[in-house]
Amino acid sequence: MKAIRYYRYGSPDVLEYQDIDMPDVSDNDIPVPAILTFEQAASVPVAAFTALQALRDKGHIQPGHKVLVNGAAGGVGTFAVQIAKALGAEVTGVFSTRNLEMARSIGADHVIDYTREDFARTGQHYDLMVDIAGDRTLRECRRVLAAKGVLVGVGGPDKGHWIGPLRRPVQMVLLSPMVSQTMAPFLARQSRDDLVVLHELLEAGKVIPVSDRAYPLSEAAEAIRYLEEGHARGKTLITA
């Protein structure tokens, strides 16, 4: 089969269209939910895995928890808001002005427009913060957490080719034993069991993939450039 492989060794980005071996997926075959298009279904991994595992496995989310999602308009963020709601949490999402309507459409209980309000200075406290944007200091993030709250670091600005992206996770690991709150850097893993969980949420209509743009395969490089501008709503799709 043909696939695009994306290599990033610096600027510019390099895309290569090449033959790869067809994986044996017979043991992991889970049907596409009937209410989804194939394009919508293709947008679920890896973002939905990341959101589910960040909330449940690292964040230990419980019904009634107050959850803050920073960077809620992107691929992981839109899934995180919806999955947190499905798990019974009260969800606040941090969005820009242009995404406020979308925020409400995916079920956010409260919306903070970061162009007008600083979530770190609202006086609110949360049981769990999923930090996808990674654009605030750990001190600022801790300010909005309850005394026993959890900060799950999913992403952050890509500053520096090697050391830059590692700085924040290392800081979280070093800080966590010294404070009452839990600082948890995180990487998602593929899981058939979690795919079953997501399938059930999708079938029930509790989670709906969000996408604002789809590009043909011939424009894959442009899709990557758009994604890296950091303003995509939900997932950016590439279609055959």
Which of 3-12, 135-144, 156-165 has the least mean pLDDT?
Answer: 3-12
Does 63 share its domain with 121? yes
Would residue 60 be called left, alpha or beta, if left means φ above 0 and alpha means ψ between -120 and 50 degrees? left
pLDDT at residue 12 tops 80: no
Count CB atoms within 10 A of the CB of residue 164: 12
Are residues 71 and 132 in contact, defined by beta-carbon separation less than 8 angstroms?
yes
Give the mean model confidence (pLDDT) for residues 14-38: 64
CATH number (domain holding residue 138): 3.40.50.720
- Percent of the chain exceeding pLDDT 90 equals 55
Asked if residue 89 and residue 133 are part of one domain, the reply reads yes
SS3 129: strand
pLDDT (mean) for 167-191: 88
Read off the pLDDT of each residue in 185-212 and give the average, rounded to a whole number. Answer: 92
Predicted model pTM:
0.84
Strand partners for 126: 145
Mean pLDDT rounded to a whole number for the chain? 85
- Statement: residue 152 has pLDDT above 50: yes
Summarize pLDDT for 83-111 with one digit per residue, the tens.
999 999 999 999 999 999 999 999 999 99
On the question of pLDDT at 28 being above 70, the answer is no
Would 129 be classed as within a structural domain?
yes
pLDDT at residue 186 tops 90 = no
Q: What average pLDDT does this structure show over 148-162? A: 75
Helix (H, G, I), strand (E, B) or coil at 98: helix
> What is residue 128's predicted lDDT score, i.e. its pLDDT?
98
The verdict on residue 190 lying in a domain is: no
Q: Is 203 found in the same domain as 152?
A: no
pLDDT for 69 equals 97
Number of domains making up the chain: 2
The verdict on residue 206 lying in a domain is yes
Looking at residues 49-66, what average pLDDT do you find?
Answer: 97
Task: State mean pLDDT over 185-203.
Answer: 91
> Could you tell me if 112 and 71 lie in one domain?
yes
d(CA 235, CA 223) in angstroms, rounded, equals 11
User: Stretch 64-83: mean pLDDT, rounded?
Assistant: 96
Q: Within 10 A of 157 (CB to CB), how many other CB atoms are there?
A: 12
Range(s) of the domain holding residue 231: 2-23+32-42+195-239
Sequence-distant (6+) residues with CB within 8 A of 197 are: 52
Residue 22's pLDDT is what? Answer: 53
When pLDDT is averaged across residues 109-136 and rounded to a whole number, the result is: 95
- Under the banding of pLDDT at 50, 70 and 90, the label for residue 1 is very low
Residue 155 within a domain: yes
CA 111 – CA 122 distance, rounded (Å): 12
Q: Which of 8-17, 93-102, 156-165 has the lowest mean pLDDT?
A: 8-17
